[in-house]
A = this chain, B = another copy of it.
Amino acid sequence: MLARYFPILEWGRTYNRSVLTSDLMAAVIVTIMLIPQSLAYALLAGLPPVVGLYASIMPLVLYAIFGTSRTLAVGPVAVVSLMTASAAGAVAAQGTAEYLEAAITLAMLSGVMLAILGLLRAGFLANLLSHPVISGFITASGILIATSQLKHILGIRAGGDNWPDMLGSLAAAIGETNVWTLAIGIPATLFLFWVRKGAKPALQKMGLPPRAADMTAKAGPVVAVVLTIIAVIAFDLGEKGVNLVGAIPQGLPPFAMPSTDLSLIEQLWVPALLISIIGFVESVSVAQTLAAKRRQRIAPDQELIGLGASNIASAFSGGYPVTGGFARSVVNFDAGAETPAAGAFTAVGIALASLFLTPLLFSLPIATLAATIIVAVLSLVDLRTPGQLWRYSKADFAAHIATIGITLVAGVELGVIAGVGVGLLLYLWRASRPHAAIVGRVPETEHFRNVERHKVFTVPHVLSIRIDEALTYLNARWLEEYVLERVAERPELRHVILMCSAVNEIDASGLESLEAINHRLGDSGVGLHLSEVKGPVMDRLKRTHFLEELNGKVFLSQDRAFAEVSKDDGTPPPPVDHYLARGMI
């Protein structure tokens, strides 16, 4: 029981020296990767670079205690940084103390929400985000993020919360481009693109074994950082208008207090909820993918608690919202991490960096960080999905395109909400029109099939309807309309049989519809029968008066129901020679 809420108690028990070695090894590699990433994502979130480092220390330690994934690496990620910038930017101006306070408060709110959802075991809420909505949102976020960083590559001032504004603002200021900044930014971007695609083969050609080549290639951003710092110092680019990271406070994360100002919380709770859900979905997808490769399991509800604890820790140590990141988790996994302790060791690595390395980063050009971000997020932009969705499902395509469009034009928050809304509407639309078929008996069998697809036997005064869906409030109205329309079309009708073999549930609204159908059919002299009702559904029906009031019978099989009610055609039985002439007696 305790181990359920503290997974560390489980893996901690079997921790040994060989696992320690693997975890330490992975931690070193992830630390090297995480330093430039943390600085860059803090920049994207509109925060001082050091906040990115703070957000990469305590959250990792807390996740090691509460998280269930063995290899997930937690910290600042691109999409959540963009969402933080959008939410904090709505309440304060970048660079002010209020802006930082808003970011810290977002982490706190998001952490508390995640933890509460976890304790309520409400991880299913993440289901509201369908794959097409998530991938649309991530594609649009990638485009927004890359566009937002262009100003740093060009060395100009520009703004905008949505794509049209961003492009307009860039176009207006492009004349003020700083060539020195461009001379750093463009090579850095090209180099990082090459690192992503071409570095591994090149290193292998130079004789490195594949795994070592892969790990070395991951250090590409660090190489870009070092080279551009050298360039800045060598050519004194700081004096020539190239924006630099500048002085980063040296030391461990401070103790920070999230705001308890209710009006701020009122403004931030919606974005915090969206950040929580997007962060959770992203993180769980990564964790599940990695866990499955080693036949391990993660517990999604406990993941909520783990991410919640991480975000609360981030808030109290001056950081901003964090979640499990894709690229760094894969690196952690590939580098051989075996337990969440690797994350805790990474935290130590980052803490050492923020104690001792920060003075070295004074001359780091902002353009280098922007290049890191651009190269990282452009891999999020997925241009093949729309075509695939169009071929597979028009409804999913609509949700995907709506999410991309609204995210680009109206920003990340409305984008997520609209995606969830469109997805739900399309789902409810389909759920409110479930599949049902009029069935008849396949000759010489006991099987009943759709009259439109098979040659089957029916009689005019009996209507057999197979319902291929649970009867819930979403389709209760449809059921009434469907049955009563079919009945209205056929004045000769005397019996309706509802074949319930695929009805897994009947909720109170479904029951009321059945009662209404029963009464209405009764009013017009038509019997209502049920066949093949499932055991658990029947148990519940027995607790109501429905079966007593039923204007017909419940049959165990559709065949029995059809056989019995088709005898009653309301006419007197034919004389015996009718049967004799047909060879039936």
Contact = CB atoms under 8 A, between A and B. Distances in A.
Interface of A: 124-133, 284, 288-289, 292-293, 295-297, 300, 388-389, 391-393, 395-396, 423-424, 427-430, 432-435, 468-469, 472-478, 480-481, 484-485, 487-488, 491, 502, 504-505, 507-509, 511-512, 516, 520, 523-524, 540, 543-544
Contact of A292 (B505, B511, B523): B523
A488 B292 CA distance: 9
25 contacts: A124-B428, A124-B429, A127-B432, A127-B475, A127-B476, A127-B477, A127-B478, A129-B473, A130-B472, A130-B476, A130-B508, A131-B476, A131-B512, A132-B473, A289-B516, A292-B516, A292-B520, A292-B523, A295-B491, A297-B484, A300-B481, A393-B507, A423-B473, A427-B474, A502-B502
A508 B392 contact: yes
> Chain A interface secondary structure, helix, strand, loop or mixed?
helix
A296 B481 CA distance: 11
Nearest to A475: B127
Given A392-B543, A468-B504, A512-B131, A297 B433 contact: no
Nearest to A540: B392
A300 B127 contact: no
Contacts of A129: 473
Nearest to A123: B477
Nearest to A122: B429
Contacts of A508: 130-132, 389, 392-393, 396
A516 to B, nearest CB: 7
Given A124-B428, A544-B392, A131 B292 contact: no
A493 to B, nearest CB: 10
Most chain B beta-carbon contacts within 10 A, residue among A396, A491, A502: A396
A68 to B, nearest CB: 12
A476 B127 CA distance: 8
B295 A487 contact: yes
Contacts of A284: 477
Contacts of A131: 473, 476, 508-509, 512
A391 B469 CA distance: 23
Interface centre among A133, A392, A424 (most CB of B within 10 A): A392
Contacts of A128: 428, 474
A435 B534 CA distance: 13
Contacts of A133: 473
Contacts of A478: 124, 127
A432 B122 CA distance: 11
Nearest to A426: B507
Contacts of A432: 124, 127
A508 B128 CA distance: 14
A572 B396 CA distance: 46
Contact of A127 (B130, B473, B484, B487): B473
Contacts of A292: 484, 516, 520, 523-524
A518 B389 CA distance: 19
A11 B480 CA distance: 24
Contact of A396 (B127, B507, B516): B507
Contact of A523 (B130, B293, B423, B484): B293
Contacts of A130: 472-473, 476, 507-509
B488 A295 contact: yes
Nearest to A288: B480
Contacts of A433: 124
A524 B294 CA distance: 8
Given A292-B524, A300-B477, A507 B395 contact: yes
Nearest to A543: B391
Given A391-B543, A393-B507, 19 more contacts: A124-B428, A126-B477, A127-B475, A127-B476, A128-B428, A131-B473, A131-B476, A292-B484, A293-B524, A295-B491, A297-B485, A392-B508, A393-B540, A396-B507, A396-B508, A396-B509, A427-B474, A468-B504, A469-B504
Contact of A435 (B468, B480, B504): B504
Q: Can you list the 5 inter-chain pairs with the closest CB atoms, starting with the nearest?
A: A130-B473, A292-B520, A396-B508, A131-B509, A124-B432
Contacts of A544: 388, 391-392
A227 B226 CA distance: 97
A488 B227 CA distance: 47
A491 B509 CA distance: 44
Contacts of A423: 473
A545 to B, nearest CB: 9
Candidate in A504, A507, A512, A523 with the most chain B CB atoms within 10 angstroms: A507
A288 B481 CA distance: 9
